[in-house]
Each structure stands twice: as structure tokens, then as C-alpha cells.
Amino acid sequence: MGREIHDIFVIGGGINGCGIARDAVGRGYSVALAEMNDFASGTSSGATKLIHGGLRYLEHYEFRLVRESLMEREILWAMAPHIIWPLRFVLPYHKGGIRPAWLIRLGLFLYDHLGGRKLLPATSVLDMRKDPAGKPLKALFTRAFEYSDGWVDDARMVVLNARDAADKGATIMPRTKVVSARRENGLWHIETTDTVTGRNDSHQARMLINAAGPWVDHVIRSAFGQNEAHHVRLVQGSHIVVRKKFDDPRAYFFQNPDNRIIFAIPYEGDFTLIGTTDRDYTADPKDVRISEEETVYLCNAASEYFKEPVRPEDIVWTYSAVRPLFDDGASKAQEATRDYVLKLEGEAGAAPLLNVFGGKLTTYRRLSEHALEKIGAAIGVKGAPWTAKSHLPGGDFPVRGYEAEVAGLKRRYPFLADAHARRLVRRYGTRAVTLLGAARGHDDLGRLFGGDLYEAEVKYLVEHEWARHAEDVLWRRTKDGLRLSKEQAQSLEEYMAAIPAMAG
């Protein structure tokens, strides 16, 4: 039975839970976090993987959210330049299109000027008859706007927040389910079960943070016994990944006749990511899967723009996630707010509870800071905001220093192929050296599981990043699942089952 009384106990190991835990422990609070599955196994690994202002949110007059998001882009890029980098987006349009050119131009003007842009280039206009970006598109699209946003490896951003929180002293518990939480004598008493070993444990905390994402209402109902909790609107978003549709390094922003938009984004070198959909979801979030209707929708929407149609048989991978949006009463899923809401509960003298609703990858750091304001008001202020000038693990190099990091890694480990070195720096940044250690050749990296995934990397992920199953490695810590066969993935699963899990 746990004896320590934590200041804060966080339920949920997605981006919001891990972000709050990291910020809090960095200010001097004692923190514990429990995630019932693997980190980022829900919403946080199922996004379109963008650090963006949300151009389309301007249509819904969400100026506060857009401004905050725009300002966060360059802050997050500086925090983690290995897993976040700038991306230019091409927005084709034509006469008689969905939105008039003047409206798009106005939106992009606001986008350029609302939010503290210093490093990212401004919007420009393209002649698609001459620009390489026009090559894969139908001849109808002769003009386009080009603007800046950012790309992120979403699941790695979550894991790195958890890693940094643990490095700073937080107790981080993946695969640990909160069974019950009750108030007693001014404290929270929390019962947990390790879903791997079956071990039960008890914890005490001065404050509880419910950051369970799509399960936030479920936690309120089941763990706290409050049956009337209905704060979240669950919206399913699905994506497809196809073989590379274009060679250009820029992404595309496509407008659809139903007023929705989709992105087509260069992905993992050899692929194109297309998404997302927006539809209300009522089943258990763990069962979410792309529907045939969504598959057809995404293929058709992309085919409206590409010369070469996107067909269901081109798809090599799909993923779906449920976004836990705050239920603001919007009639359409696509119109529901992407902003976040923090609700503090607890009568005087009772242990406080903070419920986290909504949010998006781009604003997780600011959400965490706002959560810490509420935490400070509830249980006393410790420390000051610090994350804006911090680095996530491996991100301690200049924002434009990726090529120099790759060159440095290749000098130190000359046996690495260029593509392998690039992938290692993209995943681990300066910590790639920790992974490779004293290796002097491929033999020192151990068994090769497929692609360029060696035993040394798998061991690093088990020992430093809580990976326990092949899926954790192949689809969250990396995207090597796109390159390994089923047989190779099974071989990796058998290997991982035979080695001890990370202790903490």
C-alpha cells in the first residue's frame, strides 16, 4: 500500500495528462499519473499530426483558440525540433469554388498576423501551371495559396512528456487502471489495478486531475459514482495512408463540397496521409475503427483534386480515434469547438477535482499552464511557468539544427546509412547517442527485426519509454509497422514477451 501523499494524481496518459504532470512536477509538486493502457493509445496518437493554428476554426469565429494555437507553433518547435518541424501547405482554389478567393486570402492574412509568427514564412500565391505543387493535381486548379504550419510525431510528443515528468521525479504508471477514487479527510483515496500483473494498489493525493480524454465522463461516472456526467461530445476522426501520391515536400489542404476540409500530407518518406473525417460517435472509444463510408469519403475527396484517383485498394494502413470535444451544443460534429474547458469541483474543505475537457495537440502546453493556475488556486502555488523555454528529451538543439545533428551522428557512427541516421535523429534527437552507445558496427546493434529496427532500439524503447508490446514500438514509438511484415511483427512480439518490462 502506497504511503506517500502526492500533491496531484493524474488520470490519463494522453497529451493533456502527461503535459500537466510534466509542468506540475517541474514546479515542485509531487505527482503521480496512471494510464490504463499505453501512452497515447487513444486520441493522442490518432490526430492528423499537425501543430497548427486551425485555419478552418476562423470560420467558426474561434479567434482565441486560433491565436493561442498560432503562438504555440514556434514555442513547441523550439521545444522539440526532432519531432516537430515546419510544413508548407498548398491550398488550391478555382473560380466558382467552395470559398471565394477573397475569403481565403482574408483568412490567411489573419492567420499570418494573429499569432506572433517569427520563423515561419508568410503566405504566398502560387501559379499551379508553373509550380511543382501543381503537377499531381487536376488542370482545373491553376492557382493556390501556400501557408505555414507544423508537423508533429504526436505519440512521441506524449511519451517524451511522460519521460521528462518521470526524469523530474513524477511517479508514472502506464497500464494501470483507476478502479475507484473517493474523498476522505480532505484527501483523495485512489485504488488502482496493474492491468498486466493484476496487482492492486492504493494512493493518496491532495488533488485529482481527470484527463482521461474520451473516457473523462466514464471516469466521473464509474470511479466517482456520478451518473449524470455528460460533458463530452465524442467525434470520430479517421485517416488513411496510401503509397506516396506526390514527390513534393509540401502538404495539401483540400476543400470539399460539404464545407469540410481534408489534408494530404507527405508521411514517413514513402507514403501519403489523408484525413480527417468528422462524425459523432456513441460506442466505446476503444472499439473505434474506420468505416467503409469514411474510407470511400476520403478516397473520393482526395480524388476530386489528384489526377490519379485514390482507391480503397491503395490503402496500406488506416487509423481512427475519438476526439473528446466539450459539448457546446453545436449541431454538426465539424462545428463543435476544439477549445478546451477546465472544470474545478470540490466544496470548501473537500479534496479538489479538476476535469479536463477537449483540447488539441497544439494547445496542450497552454492547457497545462491553465490547469496549473487552477491547481495553484486549489492547493497552493508552487514554482512558476517554465515550459515555454524548455526542451523535451532529445530536443536540446537549435530549431534549424536537424541537418547538423544528422551529420554529427554519422560522424560518430560512420556505419549508419543516411536514412537510418535521419530516422534516429527524427525520433530521438540528441538521445540517439544514448540508444547507440558504444556501437561500432551493425553487429553491435543486435538482432534486426526488419527495416532498420534493431534490437538496440527496441531495448532502448523498453528501458526508457515503457514499450511492452510490438504495437507500442511499431505504431506509437515509431511507425516501423508500415515497413515490417506480419511475420516480422510477430517475431518482435515474441522477443518483447521474453524480456523484462521497464520498472518505472
- Domain assignments of the chain as residue spans, ordered by start: 5-43+156-230+338-389, 86-150+233-329, 402-497
pLDDT of residue 94: 85
DSSP reduced 3-state for 454: strand
User: Distance between CA atoms of 368 and 23, rounded to whole angstroms?
Assistant: 7
Q: Name the grid cell of 55.
A: 485555419
* CATH class of the domain comprising 86-150+233-329: alpha beta
User: Distance between CA atoms of 362 and 204, rounded to whole angstroms?
Assistant: 32
pLDDT of residue 30: 99
| Residues 6 or more apart in contact with residue 422 via CB below 8 angstroms | 406
pLDDT of residue 346: 84
Question: Could you say which of 3.40.50.1110, 1.10.8.870, 3.20.20.150, 3.40.50.300 is the CATH number of the domain covering 402-497?
Answer: 1.10.8.870
In the chain (504 residues long), the average pLDDT of successive 10-residue segments reads 85 98 99 98 94 88 90 97 98 87 91 89 97 97 97 98 99 97 95 96 98 88 65 92 97 93 97 96 93 98 98 97 83 73 88 94 98 98 98 98 99 98 99 98 98 98 97 98 98 93 52
User: Omega of the bond prior to 276 within 30 degrees of 0, cis?
Assistant: yes
334 CB burial (10 A radius; 0-12, 13-18, 19+): middle
Q: Which residue from 71, 18, 58 is spatially nearest to 362, judged by alpha carbons? A: 71
Helix 63-79 and helix 101-113: axis angle, to 10°? Answer: 60
According to CATH, the topology of domain 5-43+156-230+338-389 is FAD/NAD(P)-binding domain (3.50.50)
Q: Which residue from 247, 241, 275, 249 is spatially nearest to 85, judged by alpha carbons? A: 249
Strands (DSSP E) contained in 35-194 are: 50-51, 84-93, 124-127, 143-152, 171-173, 176-184, 187-194
Inter-residue contact 15 to 213 (CB < 8 Å): no
pLDDT of residue 228: 54
Number of H helices, E strands in the chain: 13, 20
DSSP strand pairing (143-152 vs 200-210): unpaired
Inter-residue contact 368 to 362 (CB < 8 Å): no
pLDDT of residue 1: 44
Helix 364-379 and helix 15-26: axis angle, to 10°? Answer: 50
Q: Which residue is it, cell 480524388?
A: 303
DSSP reduced 3-state for 153: coil
Phi/psi at 121 (5° precision): -70, 155
DSSP strand pairing (143-152 vs 171-173): unpaired
pLDDT of residue 14: 97
